[in-house]
Structure 1
Amino acid sequence: MGLDRGSDLPLYQQVAAHLRNQILDGRLAAGTRLAGSRLLAAELGCSRAIVLTAFDLLYSEGYLRSVPRGGVEVAAIARPSGRGAPQPEAGTEGEWVSEAWRSVLDTGYEFDPASPFSPGTPDISEFPFDVWSRLLRQTWGNPASSACIDMPPLGWRPLREATAEYLGTVRGLLCQPDEVAITSASSGALNLCSRMLLNPGDEVWVEEPGFIEARWSLRAAGAKLVPVPVDDKGLIVAEGIRRAPRAKLAVVTPSHQFPLGIPMALERRQELLEWANRQGSWIIEDDYNSEFRHRGSMTASLKSLDRSGRVIYLGTFSKVMFPSLRIGYLVAGPRFIEAFGRGRARIDVHPAGTAQLALARFLRDGHLLRYLRRMRKVYADRQAAVLNAVERLMGADVEVMSQRAGLHLTVLFRPAMTARISDREVSRRSRGTGHFVQPLSQCYLGEPDRQGLVLGYGRLRAEEAFPHLSALAGLIGPAT
């Protein structure tokens, strides 16, 4: 063996590890006498003290024993035979991964956050990192001991307070800090809610088409997913009742349906709440990107209509600030929040605390509100540029869905376009070109009844819209 003097592992531990592995592999059988410490040290080019320290470590672990006249030999130990259960190998997950998780791992899904058409990805080049870094330095220059040692499972109290104020200002959602939990983005909240609320086999309504990543947490919890179609008024509640009247949970995006962008009509919201109240079911409202409204008045959240505590409201700062922040929030009744906190404490203790202190200041000092006001104009201009390019390049072939809010829009293929090429073929052609685009049909659980493309524009500057859309249109080919 050779000693690596550049390694962080001390030399005596390197010697011990080498001998230990030879013993466990059977290359040094029980009773084998080892070379003397001086000879071994000379062979390794190290001091005798290093070898003796390695021997001492292996003595204490039971791998070596002393023999008369100062010799050292390998002790008799029970070694793994290697004839037990086969070790997991790539491609054999079905033998050892749970059935629920296997359905998640086997889900075909393609996503490229670096693509200019990545839906929901904000433009981090516009974010005020100078302000953010200053707040990080200030809050962690001399932090409270509780922030370092005893961060609450529900999140830093000042951040819960600031989030409640933020939601009242930005979304018109009036809530108290005791109704707010800080989470690991909205996906972390959905994951824990799924595990807390659902038993294996429970039915869950999901929008069709819908947000694929939300389905992963539900499937991992053992839920039976029931796709409920969406029309121009949002989720068709009557169809959900027909398919699964006793579903335990419904997961919806009522303010800005993903991927179609349609807001849920008031009568549908009332139907959904009435069903949940009647059945004692739960509703999870994912209010992603509702801060970015481009036209029309603000759509009230479903949670603001809830009078029975059946709606659990999810949101995230990651999509409006920068994705790796991984901080979101959950709003629900105090009893649910208390149970959520106890459940969180038993799984991973609390959300990562490093950024929570700075985020509380970022909110309280008004930095996020100023940033949102500026970015609404930026993203509205980008959406307008994309719409103009789509009309010029694909106008006869596609229908553009609702454009009221968010960082993406969906274009539906007209029949002539669908006859010529599938959305999955367009997506396949876009791989590796720097213009990857998600196909709408990927968002269906069942057989897609519509095809189209999900076009993000958060990272697409207005002047870049036509060149990028032109390159995408070139992959599709001219109409025949």
Structure 2
Amino acid sequence: MDYAVLFAQFSQAHAQHGWPRQRLLHACLRAAIRSGTLGAGTRLLATRQLASDLGVSRNTVLYAYEQLATEGYVQPDRRGTRVADVAVARPAARTRPAQPPPTLSRRSQTAEPLPEAHLMGAFVPGVPSLVDFPLPAWQRLMDRAWRATSTVQLNYGGPAGQPLLREAIAEHLRASRGVVCEARQVFVTDGTQSSLDLCAHAFADAGDTVWLENPGYRGALTAFKAAELRVHGIPVDVDGMAPSADDWRQHAPKLVYATPSHQYPLGSVLNLPRRLALIAQAQAAGALLIEDDYDSEFRHDGPPLAAMQGLLPDAPVLYLGTFSKTMFPALRIGFIVVPQNLVAPLERLVTQSVPRGRAADQLALAEFLRSGQFATHLRRMRRLYRQRRDALHSALEKYLGGVAQVYGGSAGMHLALGLDASIPDVLVSAQALQKGIVAHPLSAHAVGDSGPVWNGLMLGYAQVPAEQMDAAVKKLAAIVRKQG
């Protein structure tokens, strides 16, 4: 057994964990024993010899051997240390016919995979520039919130969220988005996905029809399928969601999901005539609109359009927002603003099923909003993202002009790059990932078989400094042109 090769291979495969060498060696030997690579009765090298072979301290080897002995994988004796006979557990003999192994429910198996949101760099969509978040200021607010936290607040919180945060969110939305609401209409959630799950289960029954933009957000598709709703895709063009008269007649919806401020993934902005028409038609059909105000805070060209929720009195709109894009994803705080007539029934539902916690986080966020620090941060990030958007657009024109079409640059943190049908976006995306570039294929966001299939890439620019944009696009362009 070449322990040096074994340790090197294991270390390389688990480098992302950042484990210290003691833990790494222990895990390596345990894995080798469990897999049978080090069989029962095998004598391990003496601690001094193994330390010399691996270039580690003897204490590192002693720790690993002692831990393995404590767990029962090895047995020390006068001649050294040998692998125990019981190191690899064996299943008991079956007395009944073998059954298939447990698996996910049929409902869960239809869920769409979500993009790797934990990835960083070019061109990951939906993740803000985390290095530019004012972390010291936030830490001070968190310290203050914890000092002000009482023992009562360590218990489960109100299911709709901390009253101070609900009021701060309502004030912010009234001033910045034209949302007509009171604090009692604001329900705090664990983010947009949590909001979508709640909407899908609270406001529709299994078998009801829900409309989803095509191409559309796969997180919404997952939530609706998990609630056993019938999903109908509505085509999207450069002016946003475009339902036809036939859609309203033949596929009457209970819920309509839309991202009007910056459509995901194409980036188009739903124009005012379509917004008003969608509200009026939903009222006539008895449907609820789920307005996911994705990227509304980052409008780069022209004045921002007010949220659909406040355009008409008593608009049947469930307004969704999150602080994952404006602040940082790990905060896990989002919200739903519901119509007045739905406040009481939703309160009864969430009281039974959604206990809240993390009072300190919510109180710190309330102060961040009310103190003006949130507005200051947004202004700074708008300038930064506009510069990065311009740099990306310029680089795309430079390296892919005439080959690709850019969409959705007027707002948000990503552009959509349309490719010719002869250039398969899935293949380009896979090859780009091998080069360290994340560029999600637009075709993967298709919903059903309605409307044209968009072929292209999503390019998030929030995490790429303007001065690095040219080099990143040049690398991506080489992959695209190779397929053309």
Shorter-chain TM-score above 0.5? yes
| Matching residue of 2:274 | 268
Matched residue, 1:27: none
Question: What is aligned with 2:30?
Answer: none
Is the contact between residue 215 and residue 454 of structure 2 (CA under 8 Å) also seen in structure 1?
no
How far residue 197 of structure 1 moved from its aligned partner, in angstroms, is 1.5
RMSD: 2.4
The AA in structure 1 aligned to 2:299 is: R
Number of the residue aligned with 2:110: 103
Match of 2:427 in 1: 425
Counterpart residue identity of residue 107, structure 2: A
The answer on whether the counterparts of 1:203 and 1:244 sit within 8 Å (CA) in structure 2 is no
- Tell me the residue number matched to 1:318: 324
Listed one character per residue, the Cα deviations across residues 348-390 of structure 1 (whole Å, up to 9, x for unaligned) are 3125434101111111111110000111000000000000000
With over 3 angstroms needed to count, the CA separation of the structure-2 counterparts of 1:399 and 1:86, relative to structure 1, is: same
Q: How far apart, CA to CA, are the structure 2 residues paired with 1:84 and 1:154? A: 50
- Larger Cα Rg: Structure 1 or Structure 2? 1
The answer to whether structure 1 residue 457 and structure 2 residue 461 are counterparts is yes
One-letter amino acid of the structure 1 residue matched with residue 421 of structure 2: T
Q: Is the 8 A contact 2:215 2:453 kept in 1?
A: no
Whether the 8 Å contact between 2:428 and 2:483 is mirrored in structure 1 is no
1:26 corresponds to: none
1:157 matches 2:163:
yes
* Residue 242 of structure 1: how far off its partner (Å): 4.8
**Which of 115, 134, 140 is residue 140 of structure 2 equivalent to?**
134
How far 1:318 moved relative to its partner? 1.2
Q: Secondary structure at the match of 2:434?
A: coil
Relative distance call for 1:351 and 1:256 in structure 2 (3 A) is farther
Q: Distance in 1 between matches of 2:261 and 2:115?
A: 25
Q: Distance in 1 between matches of 2:146 and 2:93?
A: 48
The answer to which of 166-175 and 298-307 deviates more is: 166-175
**CA contact under 8 A between 2:322 and 2:335: conserved in structure 1?**
yes
Q: Distance in 2 between matches of 1:138 and 1:240?
A: 56
Residue 455 of structure 1 aligns to a residue in which SS? strand
Name the CA distance, whole Å, in 2 between partners of 1:283 and 1:303: 9
Supply the distance in 2 between the matched residues of 1:88 and 1:320 (Cα, whole angstroms). 43
2:110 match: secondary structure = helix
Between the aligned partners of 1:142 and 1:303, the Cα distance in structure 2 is 35
Q: Do the aligned residues in 2 keep the contact of 1:440 with 1:453 (CA within 8 Å)?
A: yes
Cα drift, residue 237 of structure 1: 2.3
Query: Would you say 1:192 and 2:198 are equivalent positions?
Result: yes
Equivalent position of 1:476 in the other structure? 480
Q: Aligned to 2:313, which of 307, 325, 346? A: 307
**Amino acid of the structure 2 residue aligned with 1:365:** S
2:408 paired residue number: 402
Contact map agreement 2:263 2:294 (CA 8 A) in 1: no
Quickly say closer, same or farther: Cα 1:464–1:182, change in 2 above 3 A. Answer: same
- Classify 1:114/1:474 alpha carbon distance in 2 versus 1 (closer, same or farther; 3 Å): same
Q: Specify the SS of the correspondent of 2:108.
A: helix
Cα shift readout 1:98-139 (whole Å, capped 9, x = no counterpart) = 3322211xx355435324211111011011110111111111
Kindly indicate whether the alpha-carbon contact (under 8 Å) linking 1:411 and 1:454 is maintained by their aligned counterparts in 2: yes
Residues in 1 aligned to 2:95 and 2:343: alpha-carbon distance in whole angstroms: 48
Any conservation in 2 of the 1:115–1:437 contact (CA below 8 Å)? no
Change (3 A) 1:449 1:81: closer
Match of 2:436 among 434, 437, 446: 434
Residues 344 and 350, structure 1, Cα contact 8 Å, conserved in 2? no
The alpha carbon displacement at 1:80 in A equals: 13
Q: Distance in 2 between matches of 1:244 and 1:136?
A: 52
1:82 CA displacement: 7.2
Quick one: distance in 2 between partners of 1:435 and 1:409?
A: 15
Matches within 5 A, 1:46-445: 83=96, 86=99, 88-89=101-102, 93=103, 97-104=104-111, 107-111=112-116, 113-238=119-244, 241-242=247-248, 244-350=250-356, 352-413=358-419, 417-419=420-422, 421-445=423-447
2:260 partner amino acid: P
Give 1:214 shift.
1.0
Answer yes or no: is the 8 Å Cα contact 2:212–2:447 preserved in 1: no
> Shift of residue 309 of structure 1?
4.3
* SS of alignment partner, residue 291 of structure 2: strand
Relative to structure 1, the CA distance from residue 80 to residue 136 in structure 2 (aligned partners, 3 Å threshold; closer, same or farther) is farther
Q: Once the two structures are superposed, what CA deviation does each residue of 1:287-333 show, in whole Å capped at 9, x if it has no partner?
A: 01110111111111110124234110000011110011010111112
The CA deviation at 1:145 is 3.6
Separation in structure 1 between the aligned mates of residue 289 and residue 325 of structure 2, nearest angstrom = 22
CA distance in structure 1 between the aligned counterparts of 2:107 and 2:231, rounded to whole angstroms: 12
Return the alpha-carbon distance in structure 1 between the equivalents of residues 189 and 412 of structure 2: 21
Letter in structure 2 aligned against 1:380: R
How many equivalent residue pairs?
Answer: 392
Post-superposition CA distance 1:368-415 (Å, at most 9, x none): 1000011100000000000000000001111111311100010111xx
Give the TM-score of the pair, scaled to structure 2.
0.76
Q: Which runs of 5+ in 2 are unaligned?
A: 1-68, 71-91
AA matched with 1:287: D
Q: Per-residue CA shift, 1:55-79, capped at 9, x if unaligned?
A: xxxxxxxxxxxxxxxxxxxxxxxx9
| Aligned-partner Cα distance in 2 for 1:178–1:196 | 17
TM-score by length of 1: 0.77
- Aligned AA (1:473): A
Question: Is the partner of 2:234 in helix, strand or coil?
Answer: strand
Measured in 2, the distance between the counterparts of 1:410 and 1:388 equals: 14
The answer on whether the counterparts of 2:261 and 2:295 sit within 8 Å (CA) in structure 1 is: no
Q: Percent identity?
A: 35
Q: What is the CA–CA distance in structure 2 between the aligned matches of 1:229 and 1:452, rounded to whole Å?
A: 16
The residue type equivalent to 1:440 in the other structure is L
Cα distance 1:314–1:85, how it changes in 2: closer, same or farther (>3 A)? farther
Secondary structure at the aligned position of 1:411 is classed as strand
